[in-house]
Every structure is written in structure tokens, then in C-alpha cells.
């Protein structure tokens, strides 16, 4: 593994047949972008949204000296306006809809000129359950958590598992876990990830982890499900979850509010 510190942080991991580059943006949304480097070309995923990040991401790509074959936008639109774009099925319509569209309008109002111009070209939709090959590397598109539709889970070269949210060790965001039903949905998706046989697990929020973090996430979700069934209100749930995971970073109160609304 190599590490280079800039505005964000780049890391590179050698795998069988390709190299994975991870870019932690350090932006306000903790977004992470990726480059999958094949022998003769590159696949970029989740291109950065902010100009300062997009600029150094582009410089890093240029230094690799290989052409970009495609950009995979699973959930995060960014500065890929000059690239061919691939999205999981349903995502182009979702992006144009009121939820995602409203979110992006809110970002534009909040962040203004610090954001890149968003891509306007037509994306190629990829069916769930299909395997596509880009830069000589297989990309298997599967459904992500049902609570996060139409975000996909993507298995890269049989060795890297991508999901919208990485399986990092912290209390989960209410944006990811906004209902009781979402607990079960995330359990199904996380068990699927664990059983994929992948070495690394990456996400558009949270970067890269390995198998023990995925196992820990399953234990966390199972405990949360039990506590939600046992505790009558958000306050008692918050206290019990804190007692169960005393050293875990992140805020519990917003999550509890979402689960008891």
C-alpha cells in the first residue's frame, strides 16, 4: 500500500489483475472516490463533487498515464462531465426526481461556486445481476440495500465490494438508517457483502475496510435490532446502544430519533 497526502488522501492497493486507488476527499460529506487501474485503462467511480477535490483527482489520474474507459456513478454525481457515464438501472431517473434533485439544489445553495458543473450527458444504465467488463476488469452489478435503492452493490474483479456506504466502525447515519425496516435491509445487504468472498470493502462514504469491519457491522445491526424491539423510546435506546458500544465514534441521538419517529 502507498499513501500520498494532499487536500484529500490517496491510497493505492495492488490486487490480482488490477490496482485500486482510493481517494478520501475530506470534504464536508466525507465522500470517497475511486480509480480502478487495469493494464491499459482506468475506471473511475464516484467522481468528486467539489472543485478542489476534482482538480487533484484529475491531476492524479493524469499522472497514471492511462485513458479513462468509463465513469461509474453509483450514487454521487461529480465532475465527470466529459466522460462516458455508467449508472445502475433506475439511477438516472432517480437523479432527475424530487428527492435527489432537491438534494442537489440544496447543495448548490449551500456550497455555490465551490461545486463542479454536474454532468449532463446521457448515462448508460446497467441491469442488476449483470457483469460488465471495463478496462479488462469484471464489474458485477447487484442490488444494494433495499432501503438505499437504486444504489448498487458492485463486485470489482471478484476482490473488491463496493456499496454506497462503507462498513466503517462508527454509529450509522440516519441518512442510511432512517427507519426500523432499514435495519433489516442493511442486515441483508451486509451479510451479502460478507459472503461475497471479497478482500476489500469500499463505499462512497467511508473509504476502505476489510472483513472484520463487515463482521462488526453485522453484530452492530443485530444488537440495534434487538434494542429497538426492547426499548420503548429513543432516550432508552440511546442509553442502551451507548452501553453496548461505549467506544464507538459517532452520534447516536439523530439515529435514535429516526428509528423512533
pLDDT at 1: 52
CATH of the domain at 44: 3.60.15.10
Q: Which domain holds residue 88?
A: 2-259
Average pLDDT score, the chain: 92
With bands split at pLDDT 50, 70 and 90, how would you rate the model's confidence at 207?
Answer: confident
Number of domains in the chain: 1
Per-residue pLDDT reduced to its tens digit, 87-143: 999 998 888 888 877 777 888 888 888 988 888 888 999 999 999 999 999 999 999
Full-prediction pTM beyond 0.95? no
Per-residue pLDDT reduced to its tens digit, 146-156: 988 888 999 99
Q: Does the pLDDT at position 79 exceed 80?
A: no
pLDDT at 241: 98
3-class DSSP string for the chain: CEEEECCCEEEEEEECCEEEEEEECCCCCCEEEEEEECCCCEEEECCCCEHHHHHHHHHHHHHHCCCEEEEECCCCCCCCCCCCEEEECCHHHHHHCHHHHHHHHHHHHHHHHHECCCCCCCCEEECCCEEEEECCEEEEEEECCHHHCCCEEEEECCCEEEEEECCCCCCCCCCCCCCHHHHHHHHHHHHHHHCCCCCEEEEEECEEECHHHHHHHHHHHHHHHHHHHHCCCHHHHHHHHHHHCCCCCCCCHHHHHHHCC
Q: Does the pLDDT at position 5 exceed 60?
A: no
Q: Does the pLDDT at position 3 exceed 70?
A: no
Amino acid at each position: 500500500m502507498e499513501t500520498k497526502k494532499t487536500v484529500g488522501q490517496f491510497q493505492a492497493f495492488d490486487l490480482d489483475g488490477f490496482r485500486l486507488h482510493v481517494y478520501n476527499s475530506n470534504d464536508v460529506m466525507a465522500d470517497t472516490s475511486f480509480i480502478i487501474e487495469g493494464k491499459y485503462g482506468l475506471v473511475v467511480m464516484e467522481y468528486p463533487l467539489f472543485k478542489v477535490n476534482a482538480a487533484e483527482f484529475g491531476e492524479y489520474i493524469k499522472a497514471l498515464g492511462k485513458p479513462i474507459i468509463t465513469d461509474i456513478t453509483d450514487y454521487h454525481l461529480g465532475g465527470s462531465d466529459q466522460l462516458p457515464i455508467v449508472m445502475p438501472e433506475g439511477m438516472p431517473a432517480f437523479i432527475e426526481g424530487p428527492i435527489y434533485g432537491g438534494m442537489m439544489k440544496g447543495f448548490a445553495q449551500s456550497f455555490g461556486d465551490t461545486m463542479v458543473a454536474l454532468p449532463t450527458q446521457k448515462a448508460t444504465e446497467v441491469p442488476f445481476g449483470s457483469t460488465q467488463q471495463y478496462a479488462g476488469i469484471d464489474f458485477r452489478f447487484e442490488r444494494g440495500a433495499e432501503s438505499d435503492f437504486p444504489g448498487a452493490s458492485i463486485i470489482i474483479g471478484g476482490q473488491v465490494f463496493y456499496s454506497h456506504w462503507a462498513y466503517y466502525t462508527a454509529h450509522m447515519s440516519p441518512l442510511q438508517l432512517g427507519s426500523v425496516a432499514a435495519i433489516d435491509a442493511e442486515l441483508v445487504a451486509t451479510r451479502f457483502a460478507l459472503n461475497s468472498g471479497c478482500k476489500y470493502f469500499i463505499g462512497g462514504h467511508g473509504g476502505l475496510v476489510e472483513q472484520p469491519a463487515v463482521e462488526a457491522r453485522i453484530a452492530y445491526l443485530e444488537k440495534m435490532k434487538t434494542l429497538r424491539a426492547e426499548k420503548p423510546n429513543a432516550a432508552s435506546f440511546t442509553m442502551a446502544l451507548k452501553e453496548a458500544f461505549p467506544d464507538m465514534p459517532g452520534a447516536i441521538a439523530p439515529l435514535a430519533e429516526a428509528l423512533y419517529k
